Chains A and B, each alone.
Chain A
């Protein structure tokens, strides 16, 4: 039981974006999608959500294709958090989070008790219950990101695919958000998260998939994926490593260009 992409190839405007990428999203697991800018992370996430058709390869959703499942079933199974913070600014936070219930509601039906409870849970999980009545436009950028994450959580789907959910968050809320994602993955949700912070990715994710120039370079436990050779080859950086209370960590320290010039 998983979402499995096999040999996915995507070209946009004649330019290859993804080339024969394999990826698997498993329940109860936090998968980190990492790679430099332009590696194809967002496109892979869109293919997994069936927003972007693959030119080659296939995506299997627990034994069915996206077409077999249909839009509504797919929308109930996969919650998607888009990159960027597009949101209707005049809407209240509560109403915006309530949009996450649309796949569960019959058209034109009012929100039921189950919907209201799901919205309340999502607001509480993201620590935004305090401004449920505020207009989205009056929130800070970080608050808005958390509200948008709450919108995705309100779907209460078995899979959550989040594109850079930490962008614009302060350190406290970065840690809070990753702890939250880890927690819901422990409770059974299959979570994919696009991350740029390698320290956080190494610390929180169960598994990492490293993309570069549209190809899957490495896949596995963080310690195995983020070795010195790959950090140098893919990111062009050198990282410090250490351990705190038995937990290993890594800290991107300098680019290799700098190292050459300074040493």
Chain B
């Protein structure tokens, strides 16, 4: 380890660069598709209110896909950074408190209702219901003044239960085709989502992001230990409540609209930590942008790679994410010598 700490970049230029990268990738994402689309024409037609074919393709397919990439990536990245800060453990990720599994189970239940065939939004609504129920259970389990260990244990319990319930649903699937459909959905994808999905997820995510962002100063203080953070004027119970609530809203709605997309919340904070001078508070927004970049890039990748049927996004993020972790292990080993 070099003796000097990495000072990181100044926050404004760093966030500016990351935001520019998100913007650029959003445009690329809208330009990439299975049929050539005159992007300029589509946007002009759309703004002029003309329902031309390019305008429809743009509004019905490209735009929601790119927007959801940004929203879901931002939610996963930010929630991952927040969880790692709260638990002071670099292996924490948004799924650790069990909300993602519960959202997935909620969506699987919605599959079973059969309504999802006729109403596209039943699935994400089921996911959000699952996430909300799990959050309420989590808060009841934790009660007042719970420790970090209690939180992790409660998360493990929720995760196992929701995972088992999902497996049970697969086990009881009426036919192999239904089981396959569930498995595919669970792998996560941004394909074939509409602006309704965006409208459903956006308000919940914005609220979640605001709650998560509000924890930044307390997360910085928490690095010194719980007593010291409390002595600096932070209410740790209130910090936990805001952070869990924020992560549940952001990640719950992300999983509800896209299925499970792993590794983003785990890997992105690691990559960006040196750039923010290892300050957990500054990492939150930066990781949000970083998550959006990773998800957008992976989603552009699945459309450019000539493999059909389209690769699932969750598979690709894991394939990209795992080597980053291998590299991290190597770096930690070198530093330990």
Contact = CB atoms under 8 A, between A and B. Distances in A.
Interface of A: 46, 49, 51, 71-72, 74-76, 78-82, 84, 86-88, 90-93, 95-96, 99-100, 102-103, 105, 107-108, 131, 133-138, 148, 151, 155
B224 interface: yes
Nearest to B281: A108
Contact of B224 (A51, A99, A107, A131): A99
In this complex, the member of B216, B225, B232, B235 whose beta carbon has the largest number of chain A beta carbons within 10 angstroms is B232
A87 B279 CA distance: 12
Contacts of A86: 224-225, 228
A79 B221 contact: no
B268 to A, nearest CB: 17
A75 B233 CA distance: 5
Contact of B231 (A79, A84, A87, A107): A79
Given A51-B227, A134-B3, 7 more contacts: A51-B231, A82-B224, A86-B224, A93-B5, A107-B217, A131-B3, A155-B232
A11 to B, nearest CB: 16
B225 A135 contact: no
B278 A91 contact: yes
Contacts of A46: 227
B5 A95 contact: yes
A133 B225 contact: no
30 contacts: A75-B231, A75-B232, A76-B233, A78-B231, A80-B227, A80-B231, A82-B225, A82-B227, A84-B225, A86-B225, A87-B223, A90-B5, A90-B6, A91-B279, A92-B4, A95-B279, A96-B224, A99-B220, A99-B223, A100-B232, A102-B221, A102-B234, A103-B233, A107-B217, A133-B4, A133-B5, A134-B5, A135-B1, A148-B224, A155-B232
A92 B7 CA distance: 7
Nearest to A83: B227
Nearest to B280: A88
Contacts of A82: 224-225, 227-228, 231
B4 A134 contact: yes
A46 B277 CA distance: 31
Given A99-B232, A103-B232, A138 B3 contact: yes
A76 B231 CA distance: 9
B212 to A, nearest CB: 13
B167 interface: no
Interface string B240-272: 000000000000000000000000000000000
Contacts of A95: 5, 277-279
